[in-house]
Amino acid sequence: MLVRDAMSTVILTLGPAHTLREAATLMSARRIGAAVVFDPDAGGIGILTERDILNSVGLGQNPDTERAHAHTTTDVVFAAPTWTLEEAARAMAHGGFRHLIVLDRGEVAGIVSVRDIIRCWSPAREPAPLARAGS
């Protein structure tokens, strides 16, 4: 199975001036763990993750004044839609992160997460077996 089969194509994009609270609110509403940050002044495409926001709050920083650009990873490892899920998982394990921005011909095509990969590798959810009386 390939990255293009697992990736989310509806992505949240932010600008560098978004506050961390704005980012967290948008990410929470969409139930996602990462957003793509477009910052032409800092090299273009970066990623802001829930972990970045958590680290900032854990340091006592104010999420209403902290800006995305200060917490965005700009040294990003990008995936291609034609990568296998094994290649994506290996890149995540090697880099110690849980999301990859997927680029197709230089354009953002989606994001693939560890959760996306697990969904593809795991069998469909089955209902839990019912307990029998007297068991």
Distance, in Å, from the CA atom of 112 to the CA atom of 78, rounded to the nearest integer, reads 10
Considering the domain boundaries, does residue 117 fall inside one?
yes
Q: What domain range is 96 assigned to?
A: 3-121
* Domain count across the chain: 1
Considering the domain boundaries, does residue 108 fall inside one?
yes
What's the pLDDT band for 8 if we cut at 50, 70, 90?
very high
Contacts of residues 26-31 at CB distance under 8 Å and 24 or more positions apart, as own/partner, are 27/53
Q: Which CATH number fits the domain that encloses residue 97?
A: 3.10.580.10
Considering the domain boundaries, does residue 127 fall inside one?
no
pLDDT digits (tens, 9 = 90+) for 19-40: 999 999 999 999 999 999 998 8
pLDDT digits (tens, 9 = 90+) for 80-115: 999 999 999 999 999 999 999 999 998 999 999 999
Considering the domain boundaries, does residue 10 fall inside one?
yes
How would you classify residue 24: left for phi > 0, otherwise alpha for psi between -120 and 50, otherwise beta?
Answer: alpha
Closest CA to 45 of 31, 35, 33: 35
